[in-house]
């Protein structure tokens, strides 16, 4: 990417668009930032060696344009109807829900998720990582300004965890599995937004960290489909253990790092007497753990020709080593984070 001046330029404008959105003091300024971000990401998605990127770019553009138009309509209508912007939440729940829905469509939360797995399937691993992490920052931040605990937000949380867990069961593409996993995590993120701003920040940072570890490793080995995990027989066990430990960590299995933000949300929702909601969320997360285990099953069960767990002497790109460090931290992350949490 950094060898290509055009991609470097669009990457900088992509980041600038997000920064404009999260630092804007008006909805119109936030909309401008979202548009800059969108028009910067489209050129980054295109790849002449992969024809599926054209379809993915078109799907992404049309969906984001619809969401942006809906957001702009709601904001202009609110500005024409109400003289004070803060009265929007109190006096017109319909406009509030319209703004929230447009932001949910932008980041691919259920039930506005129809475009997300298809777009993920047509992207490279690096662009997929950007779509699952960086592209969600601005909509999540704007959503945190406008979201309150009500029937609508609770329904969005429940639908997101349901779709994200059940949708990934019949998938064989690892990109689509991670896409449905992202939808499931969005349900948890929305719940964290309702609890408080710091909680969703912690959850998003941990989610980004674990996703980076998994995606960089899959990119290093050129793995894209479920049946390719059976070829992991040629990969040393220490790398397989680190990779699939990170998958389990992403699913929120204790004692890995991914359980830590879920632990905080479970505790706070329980204190808020949302017992049924959190029970459903935890149950659906167990289903996501099932298809993570299915990914790792073939690699762990097949015999490895060497008996010793020696560290590999493989010639890999730098992303491989960064990914390996991330995985080791994710494996030992919960005891370390718990210790820091108690010390603070």
For residues 152 and 137, give the distance between their C-alpha atoms in angstroms, rounded to a whole number.
Answer: 21
pLDDT single digits (tens) 140-189: 999 998 888 888 999 999 999 999 999 988 888 999 999 999 999 999 99
| % of the chain surpassing 90 pLDDT | 46
When pLDDT is cut at 50, 70 and 90, the band that residue 6 belongs to is confident
List the domain boundaries for the chain: 5-343
Which residue would you say has higher pLDDT here, 220 or 338? 220
Q: Are 47 and 53 in contact (CB under 8 A)?
A: yes
Instruction: Check residue 249 and give left, alpha or beta (phi > 0: left; psi -120 to 50: alpha).
Output: alpha
Q: Give the contacts of 1 (CB within 8 A, at least 6 positions apart).
A: 7, 8, 11, 126
When pLDDT is cut at 50, 70 and 90, the band that residue 234 belongs to is low
Range of weakest confidence among 82-86, 109-113, 171-175, 227-231:
82-86
User: Please, what is the average pLDDT of the chain?
Assistant: 83
Average pLDDT over residues 329-339: 64
pLDDT single digits (tens) 250-273: 888 887 888 889 988 999 999 988
pLDDT single digits (tens) 189-219: 999 999 888 899 999 999 998 898 889 888 8
pTM: 0.89
């Amino acid at each position: 990417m950094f060898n290509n001046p055009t991609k470097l330029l669009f990457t900088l404008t992509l980041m600038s668009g997000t920064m404009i959105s999260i630092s804007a003091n008006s909805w119109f300024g936030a909309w401008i930032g979202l548009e800059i971000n969108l028009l910067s990401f489209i050129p980054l998605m295109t790849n002449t060696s992969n024809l599926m990127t054209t379809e993915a770019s078109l799907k992404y553009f049309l969906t984001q344009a619809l969401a942006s138009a809906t957001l702009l309509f709601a904001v202009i209508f609110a500005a024409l109807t109400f003289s004070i912007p803060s009265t929007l939440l109190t006096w017109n729940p319909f406009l509030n829900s319209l703004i929230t829905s447009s932001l949910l469509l932008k980041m691919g939360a259920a039930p506005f998720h129809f475009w997300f797995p298809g777009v993920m399937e047509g992207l490279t691993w690096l662009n997929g990582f950007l779509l699952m992490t960086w592209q969600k920052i601005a909509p999540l931040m704007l959503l945190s300004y406008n979201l309150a605990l009500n029937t609508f937000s609770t329904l969005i949380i429940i639908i997101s965890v349901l779709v994200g867990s059940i949708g990934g069961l019949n998938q064989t593409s690892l990109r689509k599995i991670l896409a449905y996993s992202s939808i499931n995590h969005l349900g948890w993120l929305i719940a964290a937004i309702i609890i408080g701003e710091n909680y969703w920040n912690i959850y998003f940072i941990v989610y980004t960290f674990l996703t980076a570890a998994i995606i960089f490793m899959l990119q290093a080995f050129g793995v894209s489909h479920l049946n390719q995990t059976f070829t992991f027989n040629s990969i040393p066990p220490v790398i397989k253990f680190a990779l699939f430990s990170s998958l389990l960590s992403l699913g929120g299995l204790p004692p890995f790092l991914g359980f830590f933000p879920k632990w905080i949300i479970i505790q706070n929702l329980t204190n808020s007497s949302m017992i049924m909601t959190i029970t459903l969320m935890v149950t659906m997360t167990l289903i996501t753990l099932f298809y993570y285990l299915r990914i790792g099953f073939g690699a762990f069960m097949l015999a490895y020709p060497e008996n010793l767990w020696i560290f590999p002497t493989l010639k890999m790109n730098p992303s491989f080593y960064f990914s390996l460090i991330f995985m080791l931290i994710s494996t030992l992350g919960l005891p370390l984070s718990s210790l820091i949490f108690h010390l603070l």
